[in-house]
Structures are given as structure tokens and as C-alpha cells.
Amino acid sequence: MTDPHGDRPSDSRPRLPPGQQLVARDKWPFVGERVCLPAQGPWTLEICGQVNSPYRIDLNQLREFPQTRIVTDIHCVTRWSKFDAVFGGVLLAELLERAGVKPDASYVSFVARTERRHSSSLPLPAALSLGALLATSFDDKHLADEHGGPLRCIVPGKYFYKSVKWVERIELLAADRPGYWEAEAGYHNGADPWLEQRYIASRIDRREAARLIASRNFSGLDLQGLDASHRDLRELSAGDAKLRNASFQGADLSGANFSGANLSNASFRFAKLAGAHLCNADLEGADFAAADLENADLRGSSLFGASFGDVKLPDRVMENGARIDPTTLIEIESLEKLVPEQLEYVLGCLRERET
């Protein structure tokens, strides 16, 4: 059995990577694709590409390989983490040993049996040193279909998007072939949670950014990763803008319009958002610690993994709580996507004046 905390860089560092929050102990959210293609016959796994002897096996043959059980921490890029997940299966290293790796194999791509042929890739040395596992069990039981059963990859120590569900092919490559999230959705190809390698940084240069901030008009623009911290952006127009991973830390956004904008993982720490329109915005993983949300409108927004304060371990005490009160418009149903401490905090604020 591997070191349960093997994905931690060292024992002196905290166990929860920066910007992450813990889900309830018995919870494991579903993210991304929900189903694989219907199986025609038994599930098979193919090992191919830059190997000496490509082969294909079914799950019974997979069980003949040495079995490994790991305890690892899951860190999703949408800011939830889950400690001590137990997976059982076969190490990538074991599967490759049988195939024989060719000298020019530098990357490994895991390909899913799903409609979009979902995939993700890693440098081969990283995949091996992290102990990538082809898992068939979770908590010593069959891996559920929705979580990638019967066979998924687990890459300890990377954001969970590197852990492909429903793997049917492991392909060794001479040159990298970025996966679905990395190529299509701007996810960082490094995916190191300790370095917060979440998304590719914005491509615009600093002068262009300065011009845009002065114009206070971001409507419909792609400004992923924009740094607008501490700016005066009162009454900003940012409807439908793509602002994933942007920083608005300490900015004045009073009366700003972000309707329909993509603000996933954006930081609004200490920002003024009084009267701001965040309706129908994607706020997944957004950080509102210490933000002022009086009279703000968050109706119809998606709040999966969003946070409204810092939950301090080990006692899970709330610090830097956002200013939320009954004038803040939030649909109660949208709050079920929050972790328990966040949910409790927001509900408490919304009830403030009734009690």
C-alpha cells in the first residue's frame, strides 16, 4: 500500500492545497460526463502507441495483474477536495511493463469510451512517479458507473481532471496531445493543485488590459484570467463576458453587471459588489470571502464549490465571511451546491433579520 499522503509535497505543508475546500466526509460530487457509451460485449482496455507489443485485455485479464490499493486525496479544479479516497486496481507501471515502452514514448494519453472520446494526457515520467492507477474499485466496492466504472484512471497529486473516467485506451505518445478539458476549455495542462495550475492565463497583454479596465466595458469579451484587482469598476458592463479565473480582489464593482458571465474560479475577495448583477452567471468555485454582497442579485447563478468565507482547519471556523443579508438575492436551491460550512454561513446571513 502506498503512503496515504503520498501526494503531499512535504509534511510541513498543509494537507489542503490553496483555494480548496473539503466536501462532507461521505460526499463525492459528480463532475463532467455522466455516462459512457453502451458496451458492446465485455469492457476491454487497449495499451497501444509507442510500445513494443500493444495488447488488449478484458477486465478478467486485468484482475490477473498485481493489484494495488491506494489512499489518496482528490482535488477538483472547481475547488472541492476529498480526503482519504480508497481506490483499488492496477498500476499504470504494471500495464506498461508487459507492453514494453519504446524510447521515444514521452507522454501517456488516457482515452474514454464516451461520445466525445474524452481524454487527458500526462508526461509519462510524471504519470509513473505519481503512481497513476487504473482503478476498478472505490472503498473496496465496485466503482460506480457515474464515477467512471468499470475502469477509470486515478492520478494522485494532480487536479482530478487528469483522472479520466471509463478508460478504454492507454496510448503512449512521442509528442503531447492535450486532452478535452485542456484543449477545449482552457484548463492548465500542468494541473498541479499546490501551484494552483487551474486555467491557462489570459492571452491579452497588460496595455490592452489597462485600456479595457478604463473603458469599463467587458461585455461579451473573452478575458479569462484578467487581473482587475483593486480597480475602480463601478457600474462595469460585463454581461456574458468570459472571466474564468479573473481576479477582482478588493475591486469596487458596485452596481456592476455580470449577467450571464462565466466567472468560475474568479476571485472577489474583499470586493464591493453592492447592487451588482450576477444573475445567471457561472460562479462555480468563485471566491467571495469578505466581499460586500448587499443588494447583489445572484439568482439563476451556478454556485457549485463557491465560497463566501474562509473555513479554517482543523476546527472549520468561518473567517472573512462575505457581507450577505436579506437584501442579497440568492435562490435557496442553488445553495445545495455549497459545502456544509458555506451553506450554513449563507443561510445564517439570509435569516439575520428574521430573528
The item of ligand MTE, Mo ion, none sharing an interface with residue 131, based on CB under 5 to 8 Å by kind, is none
Residue 236 CA to residue 215 CA, distance in Å, equals: 9
Task: Point out which span in 162-170, 212-220, 265-273, 292-300 binds ligand MTE (CB under 6 A).
Answer: 162-170
Task: Point out which span in 70-78, 132-140, 201-209, 346-354 binds Mo ion (CB under 5 A).
Answer: 70-78
Q: Between 13 and 32, how does the x/- string for binding to Mo ion read (CB under 5 A)?
A: ------------------x-
Q: Please tell me whether residue 33 binds ligand MTE under the rule CB under 6 A.
A: yes
Q: Please tell me whether residue 185 binds Mo ion under the rule CB under 5 A.
A: no
Q: Between 100 and 139, how does the x/- string for binding to ligand MTE read (CB under 6 A)?
A: ------------x-x---x---------------------
Residue 63 CA to residue 111 CA, distance in Å, equals: 20
Q: Which of 43, 87, 107, 161 binds Mo ion (CB under 5 A)?
A: 161
Q: Please tell me whether residue 87 binds ligand MTE under the rule CB under 6 A.
A: no
Task: Point out which span in 44-52, 139-147, 160-168, 260-268 binds Mo ion (CB under 5 A).
Answer: 160-168
Q: Are 143 and 150 in contact (CB under 8 A)?
A: yes
Under rule CB under 6 A, how many of the chain's residues touch ligand MTE? 19
Question: Residue 349: is it exposed, middle or buried by C-beta count within 10 angstroms (0-12/13-18/19+)?
Answer: buried
Q: Please tell me whether residue 281 binds ligand MTE under the rule CB under 6 A.
A: no
Q: Which of 76, 111, 135, 338 binds Mo ion (CB under 5 A)?
A: 76
Q: Please tell me whether residue 166 binds ligand MTE under the rule CB under 6 A.
A: yes
Q: Please tell me whether residue 160 binds ligand MTE under the rule CB under 6 A.
A: yes
The item of ligand MTE, Mo ion, none sharing an interface with residue 147, based on CB under 5 to 8 Å by kind, is ligand MTE
Q: Please tell me whether residue 147 binds ligand MTE under the rule CB under 6 A.
A: yes
Q: Please tell me whether residue 77 binds Mo ion under the rule CB under 5 A.
A: yes
Query: Would strands 21-22 and 80-91 be described as parallel, antiparallel, or unpaired?
Result: parallel
Q: Between 203 and 232, how does the x/- string for binding to ligand MTE read (CB under 6 A)?
A: ------------------------------
Nearer to Mo ion, 76 or 346 (CB): 76
Q: Between 56 and 75, how does the x/- string for binding to ligand MTE read (CB under 6 A)?
A: --------------------
* Partners of residue 86 on adjacent β-strands: 71
Residues that bind Mo ion (CB under 5 A): 31, 76-77, 160-161
Residues that bind ligand MTE (CB under 6 A): 28-33, 76, 112, 114, 118, 147-148, 160-161, 163-166, 181
